[in-house]
Structure 1
Amino acid sequence: MLPPRLYLQRTRVELEDDGYRLSRDEDDPGHDSESVDSFEQALEMPRGCQRAPQSHPEPQSCATMISERVTRSTPLPNMDTQALPPPIVQPQSEALANNNVGYRTFRTGAESTCILTSACYFTKVLTVRRTRGPTRGKLAQRVIDKDGRLKVPISPQFRAAVGEHASKLASKIGFEVRTHVMDLGVRRWKALDDSVKGPILQRLTDKFDLQGDPIDVDKAVATQCGRRISNYTYKLKKKYDKLVKAKGAEYARSNPPGGVKPEQWTSLIDKKWNDKKWQKQSKANTNNRFDKKSKHRCGSKSLPVRVVEMMEGTDGVVPSLEKIYKSTHFNADTNEWISPECEDIHDEIVRIEAEHNSQDGAVLITQEKLSVKVFKAKSGYLKGLGMRPSSTVRSTIVGSVNNNEYVTHLEKKVDEQDELIQEQGEKIQAQAEGIEAANATIAELVEAKEQQGRALASVLEYLKNQGYTGY
């Protein structure tokens, strides 16, 4: 049998529990490392050595070696008063052939007790906590397993996913593009190959019932996929800049962040971040974002989802622009606006609406037209409402946009005409010079012909004087 002191030292060293603390009786300032080493050497018996036979009976199983489970709340037994577990007596040939080293695991509650046993001695007790397993998408999958595919309406007014499962769809799309899009350097979602987009869209439709017009559904999903890629690459760019600043471009290129595949990382570096055209566009976009002084507080809930929730119980009537804007730019907890500019815009919304509706015989201004007056026209989108414009407002917006485009087109045409006139003037001047040179050549030829005629006439005159008649 092992001395109790050595058994206690062996157990204390190999007990892997961060929350375990030694008691006063277990504290041993005179710990002898050499004795532990000699104990380990005693266990590693050379092949062919025979252990002295013991009189202890052979246990029925490895589980009978421990009568009580060892956990965080169970202190170690007092080894001075309790006998050590008996060794296992086994023929040497069987022990060497089977090399009986195994694990026995007992689970109770949130802990697992793992017991390492050997053919000769009980050597190790490990108390292992259960770790948290994967949680991504578990809530959505639980609902899908219970109710089937999640219904996600695609509103024709917003051409976007709305309803209670819209956020789950956005989360699933984000996971799909991060995991399965290898070419993250692509500029647009529609530029991806169909062999990449097809399986992603199929996995989405397997879990979500996208309800609505097929055209609206396709465009809504494509828009969401593009945004997820953009958001993901934006976060990766921040990490890339940090790595470049700390350890250089070569290190950053060869060390992608966790969860990012090397081909995804190099695609972003080569096709986007090191591209001069992309850098120029990125700088312009950054400057434009800095020009925006008003922010919103929508959070994870998109503006279309928020507006649709406000439309419930109103027979589909669009809420007032003033109400929507205040809900996204005013903090009710602190009773303050996000910024002074937000308050100014809110006051302007109220003022324009009041001025229009106070006129005699005026028709109440629609929220769509109010959005165009306050936030200016934008093709295909109503600012502040998050929705597509109706046909009447769309014609106004398109007309305004078309007028601006037409003016730009005319200016471009004028510049082109100026260049063309200049080129034609140069050609005319060159042609005039050519004509002048040709006239000079013609004059020279005429003069030469006249000289030739005079010479011929003088020759004929001479021949006549000599009596030559030509016969």
Structure 2
Amino acid sequence: MVAPNKRNVRGKTRGVILDKLIEANGGKPLPITIKPSDGKQTGKYCEKLSNEIGLTVRQHAPVRVEKWKQMPRAEINTMLDRIKFFPCLTMKEKFALDLTQEHVKKILEKQLSDRFRNWRCDLHKHFKKFPTVVEAKRNPHESVSNQEDWDYLCDRFSSEEFKEKMLELQRQPIAEGAVAMTEAEIYERVLGQKSGYVKGLGFGPKPISFSKSRPSSSEREIELEHRLVETQLLVETQQQQLETQQDRIDQLEALVQKQNQQHHQQFEEILRHL
């Protein structure tokens, strides 16, 4: 069973969008196919699944776990459930994913680990925006709602051990014709990502290669329909916000009018006594 979200980062809106897509899919979970041979994902909802994985990491991954290989199995299983199910008692499915199949779990966990490293790198970049640790602690990243967790990260990022690891990788000699690692790649190495040599790029994370076939006309029509659903939802949300603002304006106008009437009555009362 999946508990409600700990961090609220567009979670409600995204849940409504998935609900609309499931409704457009005849009330069935969004189908995703993961091939056992190469782990390739196919289907028109792959992008939605990828977004959900990133959201799950930002909202629910433990902040104080530094490397993915240190992630407790219970936490990984919980995140897998959060990807598959809505956070409610009915165990309503978002995606038609069979988590009992080993290759499905393996691919999803690989995506979770990649997103986890990217997220940690984003947290470090945010920390570096501020000139002092004290100021950084006053400005936590939007995905870290617990101040104690953010303080922990700031202390970790500013520790001599962490900085020494970063400097050690920066000092590594660069082979002739190779390109120096970026800060993100260095950070990923500090977090323990496996690296490999790539011709022309030196040592660093191997790029992911993929091919994308041209979608058929029916697939394009379905994708356009889904985009229309999302656009309609966005319009409805903005309309609700406008209506709320208009109600507030009407209330303020009524208050001003009432105050003007009171001032006018007070002025007339003063004139009567002159």
Mark the structure with the bigger radius of gyration. Answer: 1
User: TM-score w.r.t. structure 1 length?
Assistant: 0.31
User: TM-score w.r.t. structure 2 length?
Assistant: 0.50
Q: Identify which of structures 1 and 2 has the higher relative contact order when contacts are C-alpha pairs closer than 8 Å and 6+ apart.
A: 2
